[in-house]
Amino acid sequence: MRSIGVFCGSSSGNDSAYVSAASSLGVLLAKEQIELVWGGGHVGLMGVVADSVLAEGGRVFGVIPSFMADRELAHPAATEMVVVESMHARKAAMADRAEGFVALPGGFGTLDELFEILTWAQLHLHGKPVGLLNVKGFFDPLLAMVKHMSAEGFIKPGHLALLRVAETPVELLRTMRAHTAPEGDWLDQKLAFDAR
């Protein structure tokens, strides 16, 4: 992977562990010469990841909607910054640029980005790895809900493997590099699942 899209909070959260994990991820990306593709902001965990990559001499590619750029939320030191017209365009541009995706702790926007890119993987619209950095068990309730959705017949058990989960950036990058895209047609797989 030469680039990774990172989804995370525009806030830093209430635990310093989130900031620490975001910083560690940024340092790792720079050391591995992996370009950061992110939402372009300089605030919250978004800013921490970008600052950490830049401090280690790495590249950061930002995609920010114009209404956010107009509010001076764009990172001033980005290697490259693209201003788009909408949140939809932002996600599409990030998906095109990144060769993998990582979600850190965040709020509604982070979950929106994570589940859209995960759904695209489920539909075989891309074969890129999707990872979840589960800092201090932040995503445990979400993972329990996903398993419940599968148990209730709404997510195929095999699709649970589309989401790689780890507690440290090093471990997450390792498991993402081991990712292989599922084969076959999504509709055929869905029909077989529904017929069980």
Residue-wise pLDDT for 168-194, tens only, equals 999 999 999 999 877 766 555 554 445
The pLDDT of residue 22 is 98
Helix (H) or strand (E) holding 196: none
Q: What is the pLDDT of residues 123-142, one digit of tens each?
A: 999 999 999 999 999 999 99
Nearest-5° angle of CA 25, CA 140, CA 50?
20
Which is more confidently placed, 70 or 46?
Answer: 46
pLDDT of residue 186: 54
CA–CA separation, 90 and 99 (whole Å): 16
The residue range of the domain holding 134 is 3-194
Residues 6+ apart with CB under 8 A from 178: none
CATH number assigned to the domain comprising residue 113: 3.40.50.450
- Considering only residues 196 and 108, tell me which one the structure prediction assigns the higher pLDDT: 108
Q: What integer pLDDT is reported at residue 181 of this predicted model?
A: 77
Q: How many domains does the chain have?
A: 1
Question: Mean pLDDT for the chain?
Answer: 92
